[in-house]
Structure 1
C-alpha cells in the first residue's frame, strides 16, 4: 500500500522545499490544486526538479480540455494527473489516451460522482479511481466503510485510492482491509510539528 502526501496552499518556495524534504520518504508527492492554480506549469517544473525518488502527482482536476491539460502536465514532469469523474466520458477517454501515450497514469477523482455515472466510467483499466471526500463537507467519512461499499459495487476496479481527512486510525483500518492501493493524506502530515516523523508514522501503519 502506498502513501501519497498532499502539499497544498503554500507559497511555491515553501511547497518546493517541503517536496524536497519528503522526496523518497513518501511514495507519492502530490502537488495540490491550489499550486496548479496559483503557479501553473512553472510549479510542476520546480516540483519535478525537487522530486527525484518519489512519484509526482499533480492534482490538475481537469474537467475539460483534457488533451491539452494532460499533455502540458506530463511534458512538464508529472507522473500522475487527475481528472474529475464528473467530466464527460469523452474528456475522460481523451485524458486516458494521452496518459497511455506518455506511459503515465490517469487518476479519476470521484468526488460527488453518482452511482449511475460511476458505472459509465468504470472501464479505464489502468486508471486509478480516487474516492474523495470534499473538504467543504462537514460530515466525516469512514474510509474503510467507503472502500468496502465501493468494492461491493465495482469489484473489478483494482486500482483504488482514497482521500479526505484520513488519520492514523483510518490508515491502519485501510491497511488491514487490503483493498486500497493509495492512501492520500494532507493536513495530518503537513500540519504536524515534524512532517517527516508524521510520514514515517503513516508508513508504519500501511
Structure 2
C-alpha cells in the first residue's frame, strides 16, 4: 500500500496490514517515531515497510542511512514528477545516492528502457516504472521491453 505515511506510522501501517497489504510506505522525511511505528507494525504482522524519500533532496544520503537504521526493509529513492521536470534532472543522481548510502534501495523517477541498465548496474533492489510505461505509445509493449531488459 503506497500510503506515504507522514504521521501515526504504527496506526496507519496496522490498518493497511490488517486490510491485506504486504508492504507499506512511510515518508522518509517523517519523524523518526513515525518510521519506528510503521516498522513496529510491520514486525507485528510479519510484513515490510519501505521509506519513500520523495521530497528529500538535501542531505538525502544521510537520511537514507538514518531510516535504514530504524528498520525499514529498503529505502525508495524517489524523484517525483515535479522534481523530474526541473532543468538538469537526471536519474543518475538518484543512483549515485543509492550506491553511496550502501543500503538496500529502490529507484522511482525516470526509470524506462533507456535507463533500466543503469538501475541494474547501481544495484537497486526494485525499479518502479511509471511514466516509462504510461507515457509510452504502446504501454503493454513498453512493459514487455522492460521485463525483457531485466531478465
Q: Do they superpose with TM above 0.5?
A: yes
Aligned partner of residue 121 in structure 1, secondary structure: helix
Q: Bigger shift: 74-83 or 122-131?
A: 122-131
Any idea what the Cα deviations from partners look like across 1:2-60, whole Å, max 9, x if unmatched?
xxxxxxxxxxxxxxxxxxxxxxxxxxxxxxxxxxxxxxxxxxxxxxxxxxxxxxxx210
How many residues get paired? 145
2:48 is matched with 105
TM-score, structure 1 normalization: 0.63
5 Å-filtered alignment, 1:157-196, equals: 157=103, 159-175=104-120, 177-196=121-140
8 A contact 2:98–2:122 mirrored in 1:
no
Structure 2 length-normalised TM: 0.84
Partner of 1:33: none
How far residue 82 of structure 1 moved from its aligned partner, in angstroms, is 0.5
Compute the displacement of 1:66 (Å).
1.1
For 1:67, the equivalent position in structure 2 comes to 10
Runs of 4+ in 1 over 4 A off after TM superposition: none
Contact 1:142 1:170 in 2 (8 A): no
Q: CA deviation at 1:130?
A: 0.5
User: Could you say which residue in structure 2 is the equivalent of 1:45?
Assistant: none
The aligned residue for residue 79 of structure 2 is: 133
Structure ranking higher on relative contact order (CA contacts 8 Å, 6+ apart): 1
Alpha-carbon distance in structure 1 between the residues aligned to 2:131 and 2:31: 31
Root-mean-square deviation over aligned CA pairs? 2.0
Paired position in structure 2 for 1:203: 147
1:126, distance to aligned residue in structure 2 (A)? 4.9
